[in-house]
């Protein structure tokens, strides 16, 4: 859970973002019981959700980049190898690649390490798969897997760097907002973590 204490409360008005950084509004959402099922067609032939083999961090990061670079996902790219390897090896973390003919087109990551809780850490599609309807199927799979375990809370956070329809999609899926934060972080395009041409819709302050 994102902490509700220890984070300074913003006062009304403007605040300057340092050069070389990004500011994003983060919305946290939760569901406290399984939602009514939403219609979703099965994955089409040739498309399959496959568990990611417990493998080296760079294999995971390749999947992470392929799905998240357009939205400036960078958190796992800057995580130390040892810390990421520990997550990959944990039996309470489920990671799946959505593949079409051997090519990654999406990912799903669920974290059950906190008792009674599941975090939807990552759910996303590559650009050519967005808008095809398989996002609903992938979310239905996430909800089903989460509530198949003895949890009382399923939660996720999204931010203004994500697809503009992400927040509404989560709400339609049964999640309810419970907190809003502002995050300021170094722009991952300026230090080589991600290519400079990524996410042209997000201005660089370099």
Q: What is the pLDDT of residue 29?
A: 98
pTM score of the predicted model: 0.92
Given this model, what pLDDT does residue 5 score?
A: 54
Percentages of the chain per state (helix, strand, coil), in multiples of 5: 25, 30, 50
Consecutive 10-residue runs of the chain (206 residues): their mean pLDDT? 65 91 96 89 88 86 94 95 94 94 93 98 89 89 97 97 93 97 95 94 87
Q: What is the pLDDT of residue 2?
A: 47
pLDDT given at position 38: 82
CA atoms within 13 A on the CB side of 199: 24
Neighbours of 198 (CB within 10 A): 20
Query: Which class for 22: exposed (0-12), middle (13-18), buried (19 or more C-beta within 10 A)?
Result: buried
């Amino acid at each position: 859970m994102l902490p509700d204490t220890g984070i300074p409360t913003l006062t009304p008005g403007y605040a300057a973002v340092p050069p070389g950084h990004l500011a994003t509004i983060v919305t946290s959402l939760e569901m406290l019981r399984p939602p009514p099922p939403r219609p979703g067609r099965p994955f089409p032939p040739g498309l399959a959700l496959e568990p990611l083999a417990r493998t080296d961090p760079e294999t995971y990061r390749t999947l992470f980049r392929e799905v998240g670079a357009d939205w400036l996902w960078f958190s796992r790219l800057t995580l130390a190898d040892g810390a990421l390897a520990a997550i990959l090896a944990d039996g309470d973390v489920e990671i799946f690649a959505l593949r079409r003919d051997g090519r990654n087109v999406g990912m799903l990551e669920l974290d059950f390490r906190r008792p009674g809780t599941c975090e939807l850490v990552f759910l996303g599609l590559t650009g050519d798969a967005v808008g095809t309807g398989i996002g609903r199927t992938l979310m239905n799979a996430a909800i089903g897997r989460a509530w198949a375990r003895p949890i009382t809370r399923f939660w996720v956070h999204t931010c203004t760097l994500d697809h503009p329809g992400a927040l509404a999609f989560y709400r339609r899926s049964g999640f309810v907002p419970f907190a809003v934060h502002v995050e300021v972080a170094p722009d991952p395009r300026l230090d080589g973590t991600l290519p400079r041409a990524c996410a042209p819709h997000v201005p660089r302050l370099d």
